[in-house]
């Protein structure tokens, strides 16, 4: 991986991951501070509204971000047209969301939710305006600018939320946080992109891009349905306070994971799209990406599983102890979904929108069945179903993908097996060490668990296959940190 493209990928990964680390720190600060200033009921209200917002966001984007990045050639006129399409969709969704406030209130029985919906509807307009500006930054590989924008938005939004909460704004602090982030992202993307769209032109057809985007919309709707079915069931079946508890556990684990994992698509998609015709090179990139994600995210996630008890006590406080087993199960689910995440990149980079949609139908059905069955046993049962679903779907994912496009399937299965072995060793050692020092308190449990877990994670390096994985990862890290010489 010594080419200029490999270097761009590595540097892009560096800036993306650095930004996500910063965002995770801010997310943890948000969890720690706001969980002590706001109630589970406040978070339950926001969780309900964001379910609806999330559905609208899928249509607002309409898959045109991916279509724009993935397109081998994108003219200035096509980019202008995509901007106006995303903006128009954003306006329509803002109006529709405004009038949905009263039906949502009728379903939930929460009168406070009307004002929240009215204000959060503005997110559709802000994000519609920003969509193609952000896609343009990704297409031009301006990952540093994207990183600065994302971190700045998270930091400013958190500051606004904390100040608002301290002033007694309650759930309005969470609304202010969401809106502030949207405003900062829009402003930053416009400034960094240095591009202002012209008026819509019929001479530049975007029909193929919209066709590709529609398949992504259908896929994302299925994925979103599967990802939100747990929130919907907990909210409707158990109420806003249990939902707030469930949501805080989700925010503690899955939101930071998503903040690291999802933006890597902005690096992987343009890179894999450019090398898709070079099969050996493509396979090497995919297998290296799985190892980077698997080890880089899998080890921290299994540490969270093993140390869920002291982590919740330190980060959330005593009123959130019911979230402990839910946090542990979310971390397991995060590890399993990460192993198959590179397959998603392959579908997108090779333009396999229809095939991705068909596969997603199957995995969504599996997830819904697991969660619905689990809900019979309470909120914890929902979390169990959430973790069981990827355990069933992950082995299926690579097999399914190998049937529609050439894939280094055997290498990916073998790499995943090695990652799981390291995760098992890490988690066992961390849990055991934490239990030994439990009388000394939660903080020492976390420190001892992390130390023992990392030592156990390094133990497999006595085997040649793990040393080879380590060399590949350190080589990629060197590319991330190395500046590319100017031509």
Average pLDDT over residues 42-63: 76
For residue range 393-416, list pLDDT tens digits in order.
888 888 888 887 777 888 888 988
Torsion (CA) 411, 413, 416, 422 in degrees, nearest 10: -90
DSSP SS3 for 214: helix
pTM: 0.64
Q: Are 134 and 150 in contact (CB under 8 A)?
A: no
Angle at 257 between CA 404 and CA 270, to 5 degrees: 45
Higher pLDDT, 455 or 49: 455
Task: Report d(CA 20, CA 259) in Å as an integer.
Answer: 6
| pLDDT tens digits for range 292-341 | 888 988 999 999 999 999 998 888 777 788 888 999 999 999 999 888 88
Length of the chain in terms of residues written = 487
Angle between helices 409-436 and 442-458 (to 10 degrees): 140
Cβ contacts of residue 204 below 8 Å, gap of 6+?
75, 76, 77, 78, 80, 81
Q: What is the pLDDT of residues 199-227, one digit of tens each?
A: 877 777 777 777 766 667 777 777 777 77
Q: Specify the range with the lowest mean pLDDT, choosing from 3-17, 138-152, 380-394.
A: 3-17
- The residues, any chain, with a CB within 8 Å of residue 298's CB and separated by 6 or more, are 335, 338, 339, 419, 420, 422, 423
Q: What tokens does 344 get?
A: 């998603």
Asked if residue 239 lies in contact with residue 73, where contact means CB atoms within 8 angstroms, the answer is no
DSSP reduced 3-state for 62:
coil
Do 58 and 217 meet the contact criterion of CB atoms below 8 Å apart?
yes
Note whether 267 and 9 are within 8 A (CB): yes
> Residue 486 above 50 pLDDT?
no
Q: What is the Cα Rg of the chain in Å?
A: 22
- Rounded CA gap, 60 and 220, in Å? 12
Q: What is the pLDDT of residue 275?
A: 65
What is residue 484's predicted lDDT score, i.e. its pLDDT? 45
And the tokens for 223?
């994925």
Q: Positive or negative, the Cα torsion across 81, 85, 86, 88?
A: positive
- CA 278/CA 270 separation, integer angstroms: 14
Tokens of 3: 């080419």
Closest by alpha carbon to 215, among 85, 73, 82, 63? 63
For the record, the structure tokens of 190 come out as 């416009």
DSSP 463: S
CB contact set of 199 (below 8 Å; sequence gap of 6+): 80, 84
Contacts of 136 (CB under 8 A, 6+ apart): 68, 79, 193, 195
Is residue 62 within 8 Å of 210, Cβ to Cβ? Answer: yes
How far apart CA 457 and CA 400 sit, in angstroms, is 31
Highest mean pLDDT among 152-166, 281-295, 395-409: 152-166
The two tokens of residue 80 are 């202008």
Output the six-digit token pair for 32.
């720690």
Check whether 462 has a pLDDT greater than 90.
Answer: yes
């Amino acid at each position: 991986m010594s080419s200029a493209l490999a270097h761009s990928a590595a540097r892009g990964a560096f800036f993306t991951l650095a930004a996500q680390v910063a965002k995770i720190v801010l997310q943890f600060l948000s969890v720690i501070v706001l969980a002590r200033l706001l109630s589970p009921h406040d978070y339950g209200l926001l969780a309900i509204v964001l379910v609806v917002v999330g559905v609208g966001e899928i249509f607002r984007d309409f898959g045109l971000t991916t279509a724009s990045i993935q397109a081998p050639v994108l003219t200035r006129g096509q980019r202008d047209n995509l901007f106006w399409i995303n903006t128009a969709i954003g306006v329509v969704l803002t109006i529709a969301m405004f009038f949905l406030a009263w039906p949502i209130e009728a379903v939930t029985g929460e009168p406070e939710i009307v004002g929240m919906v009215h204000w959060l509807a503005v997110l559709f307009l802000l994000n519609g305006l920003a969509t193609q500006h952000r896609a343009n930054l990704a297409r031009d590989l301006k990952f540093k600018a994207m990183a600065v924008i994302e971190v700045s938005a998270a930091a400013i939004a958190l500051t606004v939320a904390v100040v608002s909460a301290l002033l007694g704004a309650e759930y309005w602090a969470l609304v202010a946080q969401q809106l502030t982030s949207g405003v900062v992202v829009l402003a930053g993307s416009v400034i960094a992109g240095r591009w202002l769209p012209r008026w819509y032109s019929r001479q530049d057809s975007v029909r193929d891009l919209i066709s590709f985007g529609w398949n992504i919309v259908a896929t994302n709707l299925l994925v979103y349905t599967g990802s939100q079915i747990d929130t919907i069931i907990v909210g409707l079946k158990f109420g806003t306070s249990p939902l707030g508890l469930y949501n805080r556990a989700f925010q503690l684990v899955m939101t930071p994971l998503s903040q690291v994992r999802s933006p890597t698509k902005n690096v992987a998609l343009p890179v894999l799209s450019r090398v898709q015709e070079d099969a050996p090179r493509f396979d090497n990139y995919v297998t290296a990406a799985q190892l980077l994600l698997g080890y880089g995210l899998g080890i921290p996630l299994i540490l969270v599983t093993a140390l869920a008890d002291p982590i919740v006590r330190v980060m959330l406080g005593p009123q959130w102890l019911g979230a402990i087993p839910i946090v542990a199960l979310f971390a397991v689910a995060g590890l399993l979904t990460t192993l198959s995440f590179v397959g998603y990149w392959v579908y997108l980079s090779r333009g396999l929108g229809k095939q991705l949609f068909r596969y997603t139908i199957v995995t969504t059905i599996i997830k819904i069945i697991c969660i619905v069955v689990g809900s019979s046993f309470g909120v914890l049962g929902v979390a169990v179903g959430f973790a069981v679903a990827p355990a069933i779907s992950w082995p299926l994912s690579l097999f399914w993908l190998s049937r529609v496009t050439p894939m280094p399937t055997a290498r990916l299965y073998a790499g995943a097996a090695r990652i799981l072995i390291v995760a098992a060793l890490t988690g066992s050692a961390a849990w055991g060490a934490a239990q030994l020092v439990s009388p000394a308190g939660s903080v020492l449990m976390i420190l001892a668990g992390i130390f023992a877990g990392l030592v156990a994670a390094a133990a497999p390096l006595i085997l040649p296959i793990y040393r080879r994985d380590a060399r590949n990862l350190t080589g990629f890290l060197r590319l991330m940190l190395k500046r590319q010489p100017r031509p």
